[in-house]
Amino acid sequence: MSEKVIAYTNPLCPHCTRLKEYLHRHNIAFENRDVSSDEKAAEEFQQLNVPGVPVVQVGDDMLVGFDEGRLEDMLKAHHIAA
């Protein structure tokens, strides 16, 4: 079974919008955690110690920013179709 895809995003971030559109377009189930309105998500995001959103986490792997090629590679490595 594949691992859960978690996206840490902010609604004002254009790269976050592109990430979510990509995941929806490829029918990839993901949990969106809005760091601007969800206090728990914001705390989790702080613990990741990354410079900004978007962040995609699958298992122990994490991708900061939106890079379609690197995202596809990460998803395939976790047996999630892209």
pTM of the model: 0.94
What confidence score (pLDDT) does residue 2 get?
Answer: 64
Coil, strand or helix: which one is 29?
A: coil
Coil, strand or helix: which one is 67?
A: coil
Cα four-point dihedral sign 19, 22, 27, 28: negative
Q: Give 14-72 pLDDT, tens digit per residue.
A: 999 999 999 999 999 999 999 999 999 999 999 999 999 999 999 999 999 999 999 99
Nearest CA-CA partner of 8 in 47, 62, 56: 56
What confidence score (pLDDT) does residue 54 get?
Answer: 98
Split at pLDDT 50, 70, 90, the class of 81 is confident
Instruction: Spell out the domains of the chain, with CATH numbers in brackets.
Output: 5-77 (3.40.30.10)
